Chain A
Amino acid sequence: MSVPIAWYLVLAAALFCIGTVGALTRRNGIAIFLSIELMLNAANLTLAAYSRLLDDRTGQMVVFFALAVAAAEAAVGLALFIAIYRLRRTIDLNRINLLRW
């Protein structure tokens, strides 16, 4: 029996929201980054599901590019974390309240 595409979509929505909770609640910068990767992954799943539903490979192409961009983003983001850590000796976002005043 074939799995309904809607199930994939709902699963992706659930994963996305779990990632959102993580991004909003974690204090560790790396953990937030991981949550964002989770959200990205959920979006990729949605794209793949629609690609399948519409029988169009364009969705897969977008996922491919999203993966590549995620790799670039991870590289730069982690470099930033290293930089912040070097300056402040922490990556706890509660203590990096640069936006205050």
Chain B
Amino acid sequence: MNALELLWLIPLLPFAGAAVNGILVRNSQKGLATAVGIGAPGLSLLVALAALWQYSTTRPGETIQQAVYVWTTGGFSVDIAFRLDPLSAVMTFVVTLVGFLIHVYSVGYMGHEPGYRRFFAFMNLFMGAMLLLVLGANYLVMFVGWEGVGLCSYLLIGFYFEEEFPPYAGKKAFVVNRIGDFAFLVGLFALFATFGTLDFAGIEAQVLADPASATAPYVFGFSVAGFVTLCLFIGAVGKSAQIPLYVWLPDAMAGPTPVSALIHAATMVTAGVYMVARSNILYQLAPEISTVVAVVGAATAIFAATIGLAQNDIKKVLAYSTVSQLGYMFLAAGVGAYVAAIFHLATHAFFKALLFLGSGSVIHAMGGEQDMRKMGGLRRHLPWTYRTFLVGTLAISGVPLLAGFFSKDAILAGAWERSPALWAIGLVTAGLTACYMLRAVLMTFFGKFRGTKEQAHHLHESPAVMTVPLGILAVGAVVAGYAGKIPFTHLDWLGGFFAPVIAVIPGHEAQAGHHGLALEALLVSASIAAAGIGLLVAWRIWGRNRGLDGGSAWAARFPRIHHLLENKYFVDEIYDRIVVRPLAAIARACWKVVDILIIDGALHVGAFVTEMTGDLGRFSTTGNVRNYALYFFAGVLILFWWMIF
């Protein structure tokens, strides 16, 4: 059986799992719900692995496209098609593998939740939508997946809908995403209007044949490529939580922790990066927008990293870390290092999923407590969680020979080529990342336990169903880095594998990315130094046995900065003032004036007139035949009069 012909099964299996779990299975059938919820993504993973194995051994670098159905309305025709090329292959691998591990983990983590079956139905739905997004062969299929993951994100953030905050956070995520999705749609319209197709391959062929068609002036002083890429990037900003639309992601932590790991760290939020990489041919033709992407990415990276320094909620720290790392990926995409962006996406998926699941294990043990100030000393009680979490922390910090080191290094090397300033921002961010992550480790796992006695009594290591996925992800967080560019060598499996995806446009060739050995050594040692300084600073402030005192002392020394960071630069408050409240005022005006006064008023007048007419007319319908005969007679008279005179 040719696994490459079964591409459509990869997204279909999770969809089927969601349908079965959502419709057929009952809440009481927990075993069945588990089997379906794990089985569907598991089978999907097997099919994906088989397909990828076959792809990389028999037809590496080729583009395989399969149309399942052709959707035609009028002159508009789009294939519902799947596409397997190096880019979607890597994404499919990451999504199915990490997704499956998180599903397994969820069996333990969600075991006692009342909405167990619903959780798995939503998670499977998400998997299906995400795979549709990465496997779609054109922007429309991608957009369907894009909206599908947005919906699942909304559903899962608001999973604890009986509480007050989660539904609000879900709503916020959905509304903020809509801003981006609107721009995304506009970009798609512009694409279709220009090229007459939404197919990746079709657009690429047209642009390669005639690059001038894409750089021709379009609207608002933008070229076609500039306008489209700007719209797509705004879409990516919404989905991937970049400045200024990142505000929903920290609040999205209101969802269950596996959801945060899967959707808000490993997969969905990276969809924007994937989309930019997928559209790289257009971004290459729009250097000014690429610069915007790089600057926004760099700004988000350092901005979110500084906020992460002062957060006390373990999941909030990881959330801002995610925003920051996504900024890193956009920085890479913006400077043209698309391979590095996807490379970091993949390694980040492993170690950030690992960190989130580790934090979930901690929260599980603490009975739902998320405040790190009430933790401490947990490494004795949660040895495996501690070890894997530490691996994840070191990986994200850029400690040599772990995954994050390689991918971060690739990004920094790419940034250096374009602009040393961007490189410097990236370097500082790397140091900050190391600092706040080690801070989280120290506050959580070291020092004395600061929780209640009851919590201390209940502390326990999580079951194997949770720790085994942690272990696998930890292995991934170590070895995933060796797939990409390894410094000081010419080993770059990912770069070679990706070569066909990164379009080479005549006249727009990127400069060859090989620096001299000395420069490379300098860059590598700089990033190692940044990580080392970050870790060292964290150790000095929050290190062994200091508990919270070190942090408090620093906060006391810089009260204003601490206040600013702890309150996330007051961005939510500013948005509330300048966007939410005016909009709410407008909405209230619409409600009070337009709705109640004008619409309801018109309705009431209409109702009143009808009622009065009815009240008056009621007297005519006496039910007495003779009265009706008289009306009849009157009618005859009128007709007679009209006909004669």
Contacts and interface: CB of A to CB of B under 8 A. Distances in A.
Contacts of B621: 100
B628 A93 contact: no
A96 B625 CA distance: 8
A16 to B, nearest CB: 12
A32 B623 CA distance: 17
B633 A98 contact: no
A24 B633 contact: yes
A82 B624 CA distance: 20
Contacts of A32: 626
A27 B629 CA distance: 12
14 contacts: A20-B633, A24-B626, A93-B626, A97-B622, A97-B623, A97-B625, A98-B623, A99-B623, A99-B624, A99-B625, A99-B628, A100-B621, A100-B622, A100-B624
A20 B636 CA distance: 12
A97 to B, nearest CB: 4
Interface in B499-536: none
Nearest to A95: B624
B23 interface: no
Interface string A69-100: 00000000000000000000000011011111
Contacts of A25: 626
A24 B632 CA distance: 10
A24 B630 contact: yes
A76 B621 CA distance: 28
A11 to B, nearest CB: 19
A65 interface: no
Query: Which 3 A/B pairs are nearest by Cβ-Cβ distance?
Result: A100-B623, A97-B623, A99-B623
B50 to A, nearest CB: 74
Contacts of A23: 629
The B contact surface, by secondary structure, is: helix
A62 B626 CA distance: 29
A1 to B, nearest CB: 31
Contacts of A101: 623
A56 B365 CA distance: 115
A33 to B, nearest CB: 13
Contacts of A97: 622-625
A15 B622 CA distance: 29
Interface string B608-639: 00000000000001111110111001000000
A20 B634 CA distance: 12
Contacts of B625: 93, 96-97, 99
Determine which residue in A24, A96, A101 has the highest number of CB atoms from chain B within 10 A of its CB, and name it. Answer: A24
A20 to B, nearest CB: 7
Contacts, number: 29
B641 to A, nearest CB: 15
Interface size class of A (residues with CB under 8 A): 10 to 19
Contacts of A93: 624-626
Contacts of B626: 24-25, 27, 32, 93-94
A34 B618 CA distance: 31
Interface in A1-38: 20, 23-25, 27, 32
A34 B628 CA distance: 19
Interface in A26-66: 27, 32
A59 to B, nearest CB: 22
A96 B629 CA distance: 14
Contacts of B622: 97, 100
A27 B624 CA distance: 10
Contacts of B629: 23-24
Given A27-B626, A93-B625, 7 more contacts: A23-B629, A24-B629, A25-B626, A32-B626, A94-B626, A99-B623, A100-B622
Nearest to B625: A93
A36 B628 CA distance: 16
Contacts of A20: 633
A93 B621 CA distance: 15
Contacts of B633: 20, 24
Determine which residue in B621, B622, B624, B629 has the highest number of CB atoms from chain A within 10 A of its CB, and name it. Answer: B624
Nearest to B626: A93
Contacts of A100: 621-624
Contacts of B628: 99
A25 B626 CA distance: 7
Contacts of B623: 97-101
A94 B623 CA distance: 9
A101 B622 CA distance: 9
Determine which residue in B626, B628, B633 has the highest number of CB atoms from chain A within 10 A of its CB, and name it. Answer: B626
Contacts of A99: 623-625, 628
Nearest to A94: B624
Contacts of A94: 624, 626
Nearest to B624: A97
A99 B626 CA distance: 11
A69 to B, nearest CB: 20
A32 B625 CA distance: 11
Nearest to A23: B629
B342 to A, nearest CB: 76
A19 to B, nearest CB: 12
Nearest to A27: B626
A97 B627 CA distance: 10
A98 B623 CA distance: 6
Interface string B360-386: 000000000000000000000000000
A91 to B, nearest CB: 12
Nearest to B630: A24
A94 B628 CA distance: 12
A23 B632 CA distance: 12
Contacts of A24: 626, 629-630, 633
A27 B628 CA distance: 13
A73 B36 CA distance: 79
A52 B633 CA distance: 30
A53 B633 CA distance: 29
Determine which residue in B625, B628, B630 has the highest number of CB atoms from chain A within 10 A of its CB, and name it. Answer: B625
Nearest to B628: A99
A101 B618 CA distance: 11
A24 B624 CA distance: 11
Interface string B413-429: 00000000000000000
A99 B624 CA distance: 7
Contacts of A27: 626
A90 B622 CA distance: 19
Nearest to B629: A24
